[in-house]
Chain A
């Protein structure tokens, strides 16, 4: 059973296109996250949702829009893709947003390549 799943695993697209990445967790967690990992493996949090409500929105271009239809899903939509958006995007979830019980469980990642 996959705890945190993402689709697609690979995404190759042209500059200027709009694309979405989907994430689902079956752990019953309240909080979900999106991270961007660059080619040097640096991990940067983009968004965090707790019970479908946005709680973290880091400095990310507004071309990126997260959507949480329910507690188990957090999708990432990207408009007008740019070359610099090429990276691996990870979805994660945790039982709590704060407190000490916030171990995060990660999905396998989506490698986005913008040509």
Chain B
């Protein structure tokens, strides 16, 4: 069945550091891939998505590239800010799960000034 594996957190970085949060998946075919972000005290919101291999999703300086060969969708940002502190969730939607969202465990990101 479908599954999503994210790197464990918390990830702690200094402001302006480079960020990578790893996400790998297991699925048949070509699922759609998502990153959601949850800021403290709020619900989740879609950060970016990619629906086919080699697509790059981007938003608010964050990027992730759909890599079919490595079944990965790593989240990156060149220079993080304190306001990026949040929990980040990787998710997929594919035919194995009848296109229901399958969620990763979430990675807490802490940015220190």
Chain A residues in the interface with B (C-beta under 8 A): 4, 40-43, 45, 48, 56, 90, 92, 96-100, 102-109
Contact = CB atoms under 8 A, between A and B. Distances in A.
Contacts of A99: 99
A98 B98 contact: yes
Interface stretch (B36-44, B61-69, B71-79): B36-44
Interface of B: 32, 34, 38, 41-46, 49, 51, 87, 89, 93, 98-101, 103, 105-106, 108
A90 B44 contact: yes
B100 A41 contact: no
A106 B42 CA distance: 9
Nearest to A41: B106
Quick one: which of A41, A43, A97, A106 has the most chain B CB within 10 A? A43
B108 to A, nearest CB: 7
Nearest to B51: A100
Contact of B99 (A90, A102, A108, A109): A102
B93 A102 contact: yes
Contacts of A4: 43
B44 A106 contact: yes
Nearest to A103: B46
Given A43-B103, A98-B100, A102-B99, A108 B42 contact: yes
A106 B43 contact: yes
Given A43-B89, A106-B45, A109-B43, A100 B105 contact: no
